[in-house]
Amino acid sequence: MKFHPFTRLNKLLENVTPGGGNTPFLLSVGEPQFAPPDFVSEIIAAEAGSWGKYPQANGNEAFRQAVKDWTDKRYGLPTGMLQADQHILPVAGTREALFHIALSAVPEYGPESTGGERPIVLMPNPFYHVYAGAAAAAGAEPCFLPARAETNFLPVIADIPPAILKRTALAYLCSPANPQGTVADLDYLKAWLALARRHDFVLASDECYAEIYLHTPPPGALSAARDLGGELDHLLVFHSLSKRSSGAGLRSGFVAGDANLIRRQTQLVNFGGVAQPYPILAAATALWRDEDHVIANRRRYQANFALAQEILGPLFGEVRSAGGFFLWLDVGDGERAAVELWRRAAIKVLPGGYMARPDAAGENPGQRYIRVALVYEPADMKPVLKRLAAVLADFLTGNGRRDADRSPG
């Protein structure tokens, strides 16, 4: 459990009573509280007759074609670059798929397969905990790449030592980033894909927050592949309906990219994964073909960021991020702030240090921060943000922090 942040959070708060006479608000988990479109339940009910059928790992043609059409349009792909029957796989939420990619991409550790050197999985630091758990399960060594404010919360490719790249089997990249909301530009994505090909490792591009943004649609790794000649080797991208469509309970997403890697992922589903049931697949197909609900969701998040800026801006300066729905607030001590917010205002947030690991100097790049998920309706978020601001104003004063010491949130 050493990589699981919510286990640590539960332990931290287990003896702390939520106070202030307030209704508890859980802003620690990225679980959208908006309802998915009504047609989701209608389609699932209409497809009830197919619950009795074993689903296929690769889904069905209607789903794959809907994903292809959406992806081609969203990322400007030329006709034929992405083939529905070769390059797309439905998955039971991207958490499972991001875990599985380590099992399929990391070679067995041994003298014959790796020359006696333990394979490495690269990931940003801070990171989504599944990356580290997957690396451990695959027998690889996780390598945490600093993603700090001074580098726009993105790892610096040039800082990765050649000896590390030589052993790398897989790299996780997340844009928009969880937790900081940074969006990688197209040149950065192209640099990562070129690096993966040059050093023969798999690039797993986690793009689950791609449809939640303030102004400009974030570029994706498929666009990088397009600009580098249109080949998909060494690349998989991961998309989910959990954030885009507020459908976390559907457990539905897709993986797209390298045909050989798609086949290996399919084998893992056949051996020990979960294939998408046909009623869920039918609803997911409709969701990928509908943009109206996505636009409505995005406007809610934009409204929440506007509220956060209005209420928290006097304390932190700019708090809005380019993508995703998290605030990443520098409070000096994330653990202490999380305890105070739960004790005084019944607001649960995630200490940033729980999403990161100490570097070689012993410094945890997330220790100063808290992650706050803006996942409720704006009308509900406004009073909660005011409660949060009141506690943090006292906390920052008590911590002796000055504006000059405060990094941008």
Q: What is the tens place of the pLDDT at every residue in 304-360?
A: 999 999 999 999 999 999 999 999 999 999 999 999 999 999 999 999 999 999 998
Q: How far apart are the first and last CA of the chain?
A: 28
Q: Is 160 left (phi over 0), alpha (psi -120 to 50) or beta?
A: beta
Model pTM? Answer: 0.94
Which of the four pLDDT bands, split at 50, 70 and 90, describes residue 128? very high
Contact 147, 125 (CB under 8 A): yes
pLDDT at 332: 96
What is the residue-wise DSSP string for 298-347?
A: HHHHHHHHHHHHHHHHHHHS----SBSSEEEEE-S-HHHHHHHHHHHH-E
pLDDT at 4: 87
SS3 (DSSP) at 184: coil
Please state, rounded to an integer, the average pLDDT across all residues of the chain: 94
Is 5-35+293-398 assigned to CATH 3.90.1150.10?
yes
pLDDT at 20: 78
pLDDT at 111: 55
Domain regions of the chain by residue span: 5-35+293-398, 39-288
Q: What is the tens place of the pLDDT at every residue in 48-107?
A: 999 999 999 999 999 999 999 999 999 999 999 999 999 999 999 899 999 999 999 999
Contact 89, 257 (CB under 8 A): no
Query: Residue by residue, what is the 3-state secondary structure of 337-363?
Result: HHHHHHHHHCEECEEHHHHCCCCCCCC
Distance CA 324, CA 387 (A): 22
Distances in Å between the alpha carbon of 123 and those of 158, 218, 281, 369?
15, 20, 31, 19
Residues in the chain: 409
Given a cut of 60, whether residue 405 has pLDDT beyond it is: no
Helices 378-398 and 292-316: crossing angle in degrees, nearest 10, is: 20
What class does CATH assign to 39-288? Answer: alpha beta
Distance CA 318, CA 308 (A): 9
SS3 (DSSP) at 120: strand
Q: What is the tens place of the pLDDT at every residue in 229-272?
A: 999 999 999 999 999 999 999 999 999 999 999 999 999 999 98
| Tokens at 6, concatenated | 């919510």
Q: What is the tens place of the pLDDT at every residue in 355-403?
A: 999 998 899 999 999 999 999 999 999 999 999 999 999 999 986 454 4
Given a cut of 60, whether residue 406 has pLDDT beyond it is: no
Which of the four pLDDT bands, split at 50, 70 and 90, describes residue 5? very high
